Amino acid sequence: MGGLFVATVWVLSGCLGASSPLDPGAPPTRAPDGAVIATVGDGQVTDLDFAEAASRRPAAAEGLDLDARRNVLEELITDEILFQEATRRELYKDPKVRKIMVSLLIREEVFDRIRNEEIPESELRSYYEAHQDDFTVPAKVQVRRIFMAVPEGEDPAPAKKTMEGLRAQIRKDPAKFGELAERHSEDPFKRRGGDLGLLTREGKQGVPTGVVDKAFALRAGQLSEVFEAGGGLNLVLTVSRRDRLERSFDQMKGSVMRRMKNDRFQEMTEQYTAEVRSRYGVDIDEMVLRNTAVQVQAAPPNVDAKELLEVTSPRAGAGNAAAATDATKGPPK
């Protein structure tokens, strides 16, 4: 885990260097920003590094004495040494670290360029009007169902007689629907007393379209007749209904903004990626591509840089968790 820590410190410390491609055989270097307090191997700790780290100390408001300043500096020196050692060992090639580096790059080059004020209200309103259904709560019905399968070619009469008997019992006492569904229904929802939950007109997986259509045709509290759908006979009770709810532009302005920013984020990411790719030569060996053996394995885990730092950091308050959080944020909110 120590290797992951030092590599993550490297990525999150802001020491990514110039925009030219990294030479895997040589550590990246950077020109010092500010006055150099300490020279550490091939790197430096500057007054700007020190001021930022010291400002996060609880005693910063009262002023730091020389001993406290030395402690801050020692931590920065240690971080710089570990960073250089991680670079020397080429830990930036670790798949997890590569993910964090790419996230940082996209954040700097794309994410930070998107601002609320860049989208005028006229564009927000036009987007809302063009995608109004996306900001509307669809009509829904809460449904219960009893289902009995009738295999193809089998006489449905016995099953229908049973279902009619169940329907008569439910009409006398609607509260029995759940109990009867658990005892007689033959679909996966029987364990929930036949409760299918709230359905939109688009339905849900495992619920036949005919059942959804029937439920929407009933009033709240109304029990259907026995009908065929989904390879058998059905009884449906529409427990309640929720009408379609249209929300105004003013109500949804924040959501429209997030949607537009997300769309722009995706577009700008694609544009930036295409521009960067144009600067790199790519030579593909089709024979190797075709003949490389592939073994199925688990996908690499998504890395939460903040969690990684919290788990692997050798001391509390290293000061990089906030950077990790910023580095791994998704599209703009």
Q: Distance of CA 62 to CAs 79, 123, 205, Å?
A: 25, 49, 62
| The pLDDT of residue 75 | 93
Report the C-alpha gap between 263 and 284 in whole angstroms: 32
Confidence of residue 31 (pLDDT cuts 50, 70, 90): low
> What token pair was written down for 289?
């591509």
Closest C-alpha to 142, from 220, 206, 234, 205 = 220
Segment among 33-42, 97-106, 144-153, 236-245 with least mean pLDDT: 33-42
Distance CA 206, CA 229 (A): 12
Helix (H, G, I), strand (E, B) or coil at 140: strand
pLDDT at 32: 66
Domain locations along the chain:
143-243
User: Per-residue pLDDT averaged across 147-163, rounded?
Assistant: 94
- For the entire predicted model, the pTM comes to 0.54
Q: Give the separation between CA 184 and CA 147, rounded to whole angstroms.
A: 8
At CA 208, angle to CA 207 and CA 212, rounded to 5?
80
Q: Which of 24-38, 64-78, 169-183, 234-248 has the lowest mean pLDDT?
A: 24-38
Q: Give yes or no for residue 62 having a pLDDT over 90.
A: no
Q: What is the mean pLDDT of residues 262-287?
A: 92
pLDDT at 315: 38
Structure confidence at residue 34 as a pLDDT band (50, 70, 90): confident
Q: How confident is the model at residue 250, as a pLDDT?
A: 94
Answer CATH for 143-243 from 3.30.750.24, 2.40.128.50, 3.10.50.40, 3.30.300.30: 3.10.50.40
Higher pLDDT, 301 or 175: 175
Lowest-confidence range among 2-6, 74-78, 182-186, 275-279?
Answer: 2-6
pLDDT band for position 255 (cuts 50, 70, 90): very high
pLDDT at 56: 87
Looking at the predicted structure, is the pLDDT value of residue 12 above 70?
no
Confidence class of residue 3 from pLDDT cuts 50, 70 and 90?
A: very low
CA distance 138 to 198: 11
- Position 320 scores a pLDDT of 42
3-state helix/strand/coil string of 159-213: HHHHHHHHHHHHHHCHHHHHHHHHHHCCCHHHHHCCEEEEECCCCCCCCCHHHHH
